[in-house]
Structure 1
């Protein structure tokens, strides 16, 4: 029996917070010449056309048919936008299928009806997150020649800042500028130079060398604090200690273009001149199409329209904002924008580390510093570690970086601890600069709580690798550094370690073990005056001094660093929109859509800062690699005991790590993988007659995880499908072929691939709505929306045709895994409230 129509009394008000009284009574269904929503729309428009005051309210009687309303989509969208009176933020959270629900905009005045009140989203406008640089026709030169890449030359005075969202290629020409802690130096030396006007005034000729230049790709997404380019000046003593930047020869066309644009500027009026090009060609902007949540993290809709009455300043601003694709300068306070602001304690702590690189005579110290950054969650450790890394790259050609935060890694996807030898600065959020590690291990989870012993064993092996193979340049391959002189052969490589945010209970014990084994020279501890529970214990520094005294080591330098608390639920900060799980999904998607040349050399993988992404094809459409599991020397499933007969079902459509032998870094991969150091294990296999060649499976509990002393992780992969008849795994991975041939082990952990990796973001361009040309009704593992009334009545038929799947009700007996038991591991962690 269909539900009866309901009569609602709507009270419209012109007050700032509109309150509407809703009373519901039963009535018979009546017919009307117009649809119910159309009639409601006309009456609401009539109310708006009349003048009213907050004290005078007008009452309307509207009959609404609950079922079978004949409303077209355009009419409904127009009505919804009229009722909301706000942007799309409120409408995204509404449920169009629940006709009995009361609109959250309405508030009932009746005592028996719940009260609702509109809450407009609080805007986040930060006046400090605005560029102090103001573009004009004098300080910005544009390329005018046809056929040449679009480029802007920007002249900045000392102290001026340029905040932007998006991505851009920065070419420093004259002077110095900083971005994310790294100092960019102009390769075209400035010696009292000027344009024709300046030369006529000073009488001095131009002396600019454009034979070679440096370039840096800078990424500034809204998921993190935006990058800030600041013009600075440097003393001669500071410049002498800086390492020369990597340069490349300038083509004749580019050189002529730069000379033409430099002639448009009065060079003597500016301390710093940089060239800005669009970096959208790298393909990173395509990540916004994969996940709707990430739409707008790099791009901004341009609303700059000429009205005919703009002055010169406004015209210059509009041109500056719209000249480069993917480059969006922030020239006025913008909602949801927060730029990177480095606290004073951060600057002091970084200066302590920089001073430690110079000895008493002004030369470079023999033993480079080893720094450890520690503190609680959401305090800015990763950002501070990135700034330290970039600052040290101005003093050293290479800097080692060990990532211990497996939940939000800097250069690798989630679940990995890794040692990197970094040669180019990290100018962006973690998902914008994935790198091939020097050595890595797959822990298999976003937290070490499930296997802390294996987590510490992996970190200790990375520290041993640093001291044995990386700390000195004579043990590191320098064949790609021919642009440096031979005098740097004895240079050492400093180390930066970023730790996890788990500093309570077992997490604190793990931190103490790491510090005792690493023996750092500098420890940076984050401290928050307002959030004492996230601080390190008061006895932390005392404990470290005692450990150093007992071990006979020199006591490390301690520095307190003020925490920058991010993600406060009660604030309107833009960082509250993205959960740590969102950042992990973003890093995984960026990793798997990464483009890698199949014949790229291993040293190029570690040193190159030029990365490209390919989002033109969804992962489900791409051609996979065929990997013969006969070459697998071991397969592990961490944290779960899986019977050998079910191992293929567990591996299918899962995210795994591909491992190899440690000695395999320079060999052909013919070594032996030892699953147990005391005794060569005999893997458990399924030898059932008629089955394919079994896998070399090492069950949990009988065998340990892959030993860190003899293995390394080359990267992650998605097992798209399995073909048992040919013992073949079809895998998707960005690992290049030169390293894929060295993989001989598979490790599956508790990391799952994001749901959007299984969907087709190019569906709108497909002739058949669905995934990779398969209609929605034929796509497996998806639950189609079912109304609650149908579920209660027992008729669970999916939506017809090619409609997109949506979250809905389904019988538990038809949902695979619905009866799975979930172990709660957070019992007793919250303190009892008296």
Structure 2
């Protein structure tokens, strides 16, 4: 932060009347106005909203400028990710939008400074996720040491601190100069009268090079030119807009500022792979990607939306394709197939310190603009598995709005994110849906390694406590695959339409609505208890359950209300099976080391 807050000069605490006069809601929390000059920047820790009332700011590739109707942008800045940094930029490089009304007390401030931004508290419950996962305890709060050392500074907002120094736990997001140069040199968008369609932008590279960071930055940059941007998520291990295990197509209408767990979204279309890698089902993975791209071409690329007052293009929707970091062997072949499917107009390749395989460095078609970028290295102390666990539990504690009553093209192409997060009770204490398995589902499918070995007599044991995908299929899509009547009669009292070794639903005739947790099964009554954040209107479309290899994290099974570490219901903490609290001791407790550089004699 180069911005130095000074009460009464460049930092003003707003009254309730001033907050309401700006079109915001004072009941949502306190707000302050920050006045900046060109070149100044600030970085905040916590959850908050920003509204620019004068001038313009830039953060994470997005441009924030005034509008006739103030639009609060939700910002989530926990310690487990890089913190967004807002910089005041000159007005010549921003959108052309009519200024919004400014309270009288701020008018004199606007005349002295280049930009004025309103920062308001944001209390949606996402900060409660640090109670659910002990690994992320304190991610939204400053520590006593950080406050004592002057690394953060209070600005008068609950749960929001200004970061004054960069430390190991407080790392602002600073885009690389080469990234800024590439983003600034993007081709201008096509005019409405042009015959050329919007571009397809593919981001690729090895893991831990910043692919997702660049893809989101590119997404934010495109949103300054288009009213909507499509995002095709092909990285099923580190998904940006939902839990792992799915390839999904999302339509974004606002900038993304925060880590993946803060913006889980209901997809426009999705297909469940059931694993964090397509290693066991590469053909199904590619068929799902191809189906989503065809959906983009036929239903999304030219949506027919009404124009907005900010002069952004609404006739076309560009596509950003985020690929996985598996770039060797089978992963390289899958990446080549994805490029052949989407035919990108722009390819952004993030290099690594180690040389790329030759299959990845192949020349792009003449019509494709290929740019090589330097990697973005991160020193955050959280692993990919930690982030996956956080995204899954954030998804199940989310409360999504129900848009079933709204119609029109604009509603269909609007991103659906949570209104709130409910962390008042663990998953084991929440009221579930009770479902009659004998009539609710037309098919139960198991995918992944070893799924074909599950006999019908054991299906209730496999589903109990499992994460499953809720899939909607077109009428008649399942009839052509399997004949349930030919299945050997099961001796189990639990009757579900399951066929051993059955294939997953065809991507061309199905879509994954979301995930659910089967918390309990009663074979005698044919009932199961299901937890899902999906709106009830979406559940009526689900007729197929698909279980894969993705499982509920251990933290999701614990009751965090009892004590900080959490306990399993019905067990004393020290008598819980398979779990060890504190530092482990003895032979075999260290992390297992797997060697992958050993070859058989025939491979030498």
Q: What TM-score, normalized to structure 1? A: 0.64
Q: Residues 681, 348 of structure 1: CA spacing in aligned structure 2 closer, same or farther, 3 A cutoff? A: farther
**Contact 2:471-2:512 at 8 Å conserved across structures:** yes
After superposition, the C-alpha distances for 1:779-804 in whole angstroms (9 at most, x for unaligned) are 9x73476xxxxxxxxxxxxxxxxxx8
Deviation at 1:698, TM superposition (A): 2.9
After superposition, the C-alpha distances for 1:676-711 in whole angstroms (9 at most, x for unaligned) are 5xx55337767456824x2111322xx322211111
**Contact 2:264-2:418 at 8 Å conserved across structures:** no
Q: Residues 829, 743 of structure 1: CA spacing in aligned structure 2 closer, same or farther, 3 A cutoff? A: farther
Q: Residues 487, 357 of structure 1: CA spacing in aligned structure 2 closer, same or farther, 3 A cutoff? A: closer
After superposition, the C-alpha distances for 1:763-818 in whole angstroms (9 at most, x for unaligned) are 1399xx9545x452799x73476xxxxxxxxxxxxxxxxxx8997899xxxxxxxx
Residue 28 of structure 1 corresponds to none
Q: Residues 624, 686 of structure 1: CA spacing in aligned structure 2 closer, same or farther, 3 A cutoff? A: farther
Q: Residues 232, 736 of structure 1: CA spacing in aligned structure 2 closer, same or farther, 3 A cutoff? A: same
Deviation at 1:367, TM superposition (A): 1.2
Residue 581 of structure 1 corresponds to 385
After superposition, the C-alpha distances for 1:293-330 in whole angstroms (9 at most, x for unaligned) are 10122211367999xxxxxxx9xx98x61511121211
Residue 709 of structure 1 corresponds to 508
Residue 516 of structure 1 pairs with residue 311 of structure 2 = no
**Contact 1:436-1:605 at 8 Å conserved across structures:** no
Distance 2:282 2:311 in 1: 43
More displaced stretch, 158-167 vs 625-634: 625-634
Distance 1:324 1:441 in 2: 41
3-state DSSP class of the match of 2:427?
coil
Q: 1:259 aligns with which of 100, 103, 110?
A: 103
Residue 239 of structure 1 pairs with residue 95 of structure 2 = yes
More displaced stretch, 511-520 vs 609-618: 609-618
Structure with greater Cα Rg: 1
3-state DSSP class of the match of 1:496?
strand
Residue 13 of structure 2 corresponds to 142
**Contact 2:265-2:418 at 8 Å conserved across structures:** no
**Contact 1:683-1:697 at 8 Å conserved across structures:** no
Distance 1:220 1:459 in 2: 31
**Contact 2:436-2:526 at 8 Å conserved across structures:** yes
Deviation at 1:167, TM superposition (A): 1.2
Residue 20 of structure 2 corresponds to none
More displaced stretch, 325-334 vs 750-759: 325-334
Residue 572 of structure 2 corresponds to 776
Deviation at 1:618, TM superposition (A): 0.8
Q: 1:625 aligns with which of 426, 433, 438?
A: 433
Q: 1:401 aligns with which of 231, 241, 247?
A: 231
Distance 2:523 2:385 in 1: 34
Distance 1:635 1:778 in 2: 37
Distance 1:326 1:675 in 2: 54
Q: 1:594 aligns with which of 398, 401, 425?
A: 398
3-state DSSP class of the match of 1:718?
strand
Deviation at 1:656, TM superposition (A): 1.1
Residue 682 of structure 1 pairs with residue 484 of structure 2 = yes
**Contact 2:41-2:85 at 8 Å conserved across structures:** yes
Q: Residues 624, 156 of structure 1: CA spacing in aligned structure 2 closer, same or farther, 3 A cutoff? A: same
Structure 2: which 5+ residue stretches go unaligned? 18-25
Structure 1: which 5+ residue stretches go unaligned? 1-130, 189-211, 307-313, 546-553, 567-572, 664-670, 786-803, 811-821
Residue 7 of structure 1 corresponds to none
Deviation at 1:483, TM superposition (A): 5.4
Q: Residues 164, 685 of structure 1: CA spacing in aligned structure 2 closer, same or farther, 3 A cutoff? A: farther
What pairs up with 1:756-775 in 2 under 5 angstroms? 756-764=555-563, 770-771=567-568, 774=570
Distance 2:600 2:10 in 1: 57
What pairs up with 1:8-157 in 2 under 5 angstroms? 131-137=1-7, 138-144=9-15, 149-157=29-37
Q: 1:222 aligns with which of 75, 79, 104?
A: 79
Distance 1:172 1:450 in 2: 48
**Contact 1:658-1:744 at 8 Å conserved across structures:** yes
Q: 1:753 aligns with which of 538, 552, 576?
A: 552
Q: 1:540 aligns with which of 361, 375, 381?
A: 361
Residue 323 of structure 1 pairs with residue 127 of structure 2 = no
**Contact 1:382-1:498 at 8 Å conserved across structures:** yes
Distance 1:685 1:492 in 2: 49
Residue 382 of structure 1 pairs with residue 203 of structure 2 = no
Q: Residues 657, 696 of structure 1: CA spacing in aligned structure 2 closer, same or farther, 3 A cutoff? A: same
**Contact 1:633-1:673 at 8 Å conserved across structures:** no
Residue 645 of structure 1 pairs with residue 463 of structure 2 = no
After superposition, the C-alpha distances for 1:356-391 in whole angstroms (9 at most, x for unaligned) are 4256xx987741111100111100000000001111
Number of residue pairs matched by the alignment: 580
Q: Residues 304, 508 of structure 1: CA spacing in aligned structure 2 closer, same or farther, 3 A cutoff? A: closer
3-state DSSP class of the match of 1:162?
strand
